């Protein structure tokens, strides 16, 4: 690694129009081949930092800057974007916004061709980029026909053909399924091994970057909270939790249960087996006590609860050519009062299934029954009153002038009496914590708050079933639990909940039943702990059980019950013998707000 910094920011403060201060007195130095990870809650300033380094600020988003910014020896403010782009490449969260050519070959050639690079040189760069992201053989495919992980790798390859010295990755895995995250992670790891490119990556997934990061920067409302090596940063879980950053699970378990004397030089890229062995030794030495009676087995919903939703021999086909079968002969029942998680790779049929449940899609064969009645006999209003769907992107559901109007709109449409509307509007906004923003234009809310508004508009209709489609997408550590907590409160009032997500820790905490879809079929269906125990079957869908569950299985020999699913479960069962263990436990929860 060269000692000459490729990125240098000194005392940088940046303010958007309207006096929104996004970064305050930021300092950052990164050298050739260094991997810098930037963490922080939504609104911390992570994307703004990416924009400053890449030149997106000020050439696309304007504002005022104070301080020094040097990128490969240039100040992006003094150079046009096409100059900065030759030194600094950017990969965004959504690959769709970066892919626009008819073939992958053309996509990779677009950037260097616009700079007048020789044809043979373009072909060489394209071959090398495709090999690195492992997309050889797909050169003539339309990028939009690729899977989510393939699209993101294609977007990465198109950036690499510009041969940048610096690569900025703004939450590149936040919209991907487990397979897609693994694919992108592998490509980034190969780039890191080459040691030629300086990488700056923002993320909420701390586990993904532990083994790669040379430097970690934690931001909170534009200010630097922590900065240093992964060991230096992640050895301070209390400070991370205070600013909404998730401590890597194994690090959290180790610091909560074990007296390791953890310091700045201690490893943090731990494995489940390593931590399990340390716990096993602590139990043997009498430092930890196993309390098998502290965690009763979860009680399943009554078997005689009435069926509220049912799919009967459901087959859904999207037009081609060739036609794509999204669901094939799927049959399942959802009973009243269940909290059901639905997981699986992108394209496995999850969203297709729930769209059938609310009548947005008509199956090729089969039918959907609501309380025994074919939903084709129900009007749109009747379905909306009974089954609420919150889409992955709330912006598809918001269109009025204020938050209050947004909730009011659905109530009027389904014929709620005027004297009841205002009470239900206020009640719904209070439930999601948006009563102070009632008169605000919805698109002035943060992305997370827009999701909460979509939930409020849905819950105000008082449905019997609530469906959340990917509530954790693009959410920070705190935000991903906020919608789940709303769903839990809805469930506690007697509602039925279906939640689609890739977040196994979240689903283990909330769902009593888990359905795993794979290639349009139901791969597994049963109690959550039982489904997560079927590791070999889960591998087909790239679903990995929660860390707490994997630790419990490895510790079965010392008496841990197999239905441990969450960190809270683990901490109930494993109790430090020393009195000070209880004090440490108070701040060792799972980040629910």
User: Taking Cα atoms as reference points, which of 380, 588, 479, 410 lies closest to residue 171?
Assistant: 479
User: Is residue 197 located within the same domain as residue 273?
Assistant: no
CB 27 within 8 A of CB 225: no
Round the average pLDDT of the chain to a whole number and report it.
Answer: 90
Least confident of 441-450, 556-565, 569-578: 441-450
d(CA 454, CA 283): 47
Answer whether residue 466 shows pLDDT above 90.
yes
The string of pLDDT tens digits covering residues 76-121 is 999 999 999 999 999 988 888 899 999 999 999 999 999 999 999 9
Domain span at residue 190 reads 5-98+165-247
In percent, the amount of the chain with pLDDT more than 70 equals: 95
The string of pLDDT tens digits covering residues 35-45 is 999 999 988 99
Confidence of residue 264 (pLDDT cuts 50, 70, 90): very low
User: Is residue 196 located within the same domain as residue 275?
Assistant: no
The string of pLDDT tens digits covering residues 391-438 is 888 888 999 999 999 999 999 988 899 989 999 999 999 988 899 999
User: By CB neighbour count within 10 A (0-12 exposed, 13-18 middle, 19+ buried), where does 308 fall?
Assistant: buried
Answer whether residue 251 shows pLDDT above 60.
yes
Confidence of residue 260 (pLDDT cuts 50, 70, 90): low
CB 401 within 8 A of CB 441: yes
CATH of the domain at 541: 3.40.50.300
**Measured distance between the N- and C-terminal CA atoms of the chain, rounded to whole angstroms:** 41
Angle formed at CA 168 by CA 167 and CA 174, multiple of 5 degrees:
125
User: Is residue 541 located within the same domain as residue 422?
Assistant: yes
Q: Residues with Cβ < 8 Å from 462, sequence gap 6 or more?
A: 385, 424
CA 384 to chain centre: 27
Is pTM, for the whole model, over 0.75? yes
User: Looking at the domain assignment, is residue 125 inside a domain?
Assistant: no
Answer whether residue 301 shows pLDDT above 70.
no
User: Is residue 28 located within the same domain as residue 73?
Assistant: yes
How does 244-274 read in b/e, with b if 16+ C-beta sit within 10 Å?
Answer: bbbbbbbbbbbbbbbeeebeeebebbbebee
User: In which element (H, E) is residue 301 found?
Assistant: none
Least confident of 133-137, 178-182, 492-496, 557-561: 178-182
Answer whether residue 233 shows pLDDT above 90.
yes
If one counts every other C-beta atom within 10 angstroms of the C-beta of residue 328, the result is 17
CA 446 to chain centre: 16
User: Is residue 314 located within the same domain as residue 193?
Assistant: no
User: Is residue 232 located within the same domain as residue 196?
Assistant: yes
User: Is residue 203 located within the same domain as residue 339?
Assistant: no
User: Is residue 172 located within the same domain as residue 260?
Assistant: no
User: Looking at the domain assignment, is residue 338 inside a domain?
Assistant: yes
Q: How many structural domains comprise the chain?
A: 3
Dihedral over alpha carbons 404, 407, 413, 414 (to 10 degrees): -140
The string of pLDDT tens digits covering residues 476-486 is 778 778 888 98
Answer whether residue 348 shows pLDDT above 80.
yes
The better pLDDT of the pair 148, 25 is held by 25
- Residue 393 has a pLDDT of 81
User: Looking at the domain assignment, is residue 293 inside a domain?
Assistant: no
Confidence of residue 2 (pLDDT cuts 50, 70, 90): low
In percent, the amount of the chain with pLDDT more than 90 equals: 71
How does 556-567 read in b/e, with b if 16+ C-beta sit within 10 Å?
Answer: eeeebbebbbbb
3-state class (DSSP) for residue 383: helix
Average pLDDT, integer, range 515-533: 96
User: Is residue 581 located within the same domain as residue 504?
Assistant: no
User: Is residue 391 located within the same domain as residue 345?
Assistant: yes
User: Is residue 539 located within the same domain as residue 470?
Assistant: yes
Token couple for 234: 């992640």
In SS3 terms, 164-205 reads as CCEEEEECCCCCCCHHHHHHHHHHHHHHHHHCCCEEEEECCC
Answer whether residue 452 shows pLDDT above 90.
no
The better pLDDT of the pair 357, 177 is held by 357
Domain end call among 200, 220, 247:
247
User: Looking at the domain assignment, is residue 129 inside a domain?
Assistant: no
Least confident of 148-152, 224-228, 385-389: 148-152
User: Is residue 276 located within the same domain as residue 368?
Assistant: no
Give the length of the chain: 593
Angle formed at CA 437 by CA 436 and CA 439, multiple of 5 degrees:
115
Least confident of 120-124, 213-217, 328-332, 451-455: 451-455
Residue 378 to residues 348, 372, 395, 523, Cα–Cα distance (Å): 28, 12, 26, 30
E strands in 430-479: 465-469
- Residue 207 has a pLDDT of 85
Answer whether residue 278 shows pLDDT above 80.
yes
- Residue 592 has a pLDDT of 43
């Amino acid at each position: 690694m060269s000692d000459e910094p490729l990125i240098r920011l000194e005392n940088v403060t940046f303010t958007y129009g309207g006096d929104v201060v996004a970064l305050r007195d930021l300092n950052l130095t990164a050298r050739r081949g260094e991997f810098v990870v930037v963490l922080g809650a939504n609104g911390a300033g992570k994307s703004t930092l990416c924009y400053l380094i890449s030149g997106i600020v000020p050439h696309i988003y304007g504002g005022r800057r104070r301080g020094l910014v040097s990128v490969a020896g240039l100040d992006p403010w003094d150079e046009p974007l096409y100059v900065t782009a030759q030194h600094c490449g950017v990969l965004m969260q959504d690959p769709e916004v970066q892919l626009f050519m008819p073939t992958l070959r053309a996509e990779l050639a677009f950037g260097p061709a616009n700079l007048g690079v020789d044809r043979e040189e373009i072909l060489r760069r394209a071959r090398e980029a495709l090999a690195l992201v492992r997309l050889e053989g797909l050169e003539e495919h339309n990028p939009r026909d690729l899977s989510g992980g393939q699209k993101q790798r294609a977007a990465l390859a198109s950036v690499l053909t510009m041969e940048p010295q610096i690569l900025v990755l703004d939450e590149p895995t936040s919209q991907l399924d487990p397979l897609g995250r693994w694919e992108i992670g592998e490509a980034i790891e190969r780039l890191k091994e080459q040691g030629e490119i300086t990488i700056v990556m923002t993320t909420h997934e701390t586990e993904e970057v532990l083994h790669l990061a040379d430097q970690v920067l934690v931001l909170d409302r534009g200010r630097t909270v922590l900065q240093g090596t992964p060991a230096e940063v992640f050895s301070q879980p209390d400070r991370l939790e205070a600013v909404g950053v998730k401590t890597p699970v194994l690090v959290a378990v180790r610091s909560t249960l074990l007296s390791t004397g953890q310091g700045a030089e201690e490893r943090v890229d731990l494995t489940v087996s390593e931590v399990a062995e340390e716990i096993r030794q602590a139990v043997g030495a009498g430092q930890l006590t196993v309390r098998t009676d502290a965690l009763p087995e979860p009680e399943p919903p009554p078997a005689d609860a009435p069926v509220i939703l049912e799919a009967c021999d459901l087959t859904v086909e999207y037009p081609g050519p060739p036609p794509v079968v999204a669901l094939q002969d799927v049959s399942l029942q959802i009973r009243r009062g269940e909290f059901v998680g639905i997981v699986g790779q992108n394209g496995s049929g999850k969203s297709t299934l729930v769209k059938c449940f609310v009548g947005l899609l008509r199956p090729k064969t089969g039918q959907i029954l609501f309380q025994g009645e074919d939903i084709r006999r129900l009007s749109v209003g009747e379905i909306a009153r009974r089954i609420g769907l919150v889409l992955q992107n709330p912006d598809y559901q918001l269109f009025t002038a204020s938050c209050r109007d947004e909730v009011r709109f659905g109530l009027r449409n389904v014929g709620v009496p005027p004297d009841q509307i205002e009470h239900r509007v206020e009640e719904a906004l209070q439930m999601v914590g948006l009563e102070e923003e009632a008169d605000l234009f919805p698109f002035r809310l943060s992305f997370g708050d827009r999701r909460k508004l979509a939930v409020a508009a849905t819950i105000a209709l008082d449905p019997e079933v609530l469906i959340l489609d990917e509530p954790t997408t693009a959410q920070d550590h705190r935000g991903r639990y906020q919608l789940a907590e709303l769903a839990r409160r809805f469930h506690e009032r007697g509602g039925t909940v279906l939640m689609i997500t890739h977040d196994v820790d979240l689903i283990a905490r909330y769902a009593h039943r888990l359905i795993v879809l794979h290639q349009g079929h139901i791969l597994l269906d049963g109690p959550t702990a039982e489904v997560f125990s079927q590791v070999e079957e889960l591998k087909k869908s790239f679903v990995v059980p929660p860390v707490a569950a994997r630790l419990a299985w490895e510790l079965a020999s010392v008496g841990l019950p197999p239905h441990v699913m969450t960190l809270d479960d683990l901490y109930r069962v494993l109790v430090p013998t020393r009195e000070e263990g209880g004090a440490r436990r108070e701040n060792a929860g799972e980040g629910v707000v």
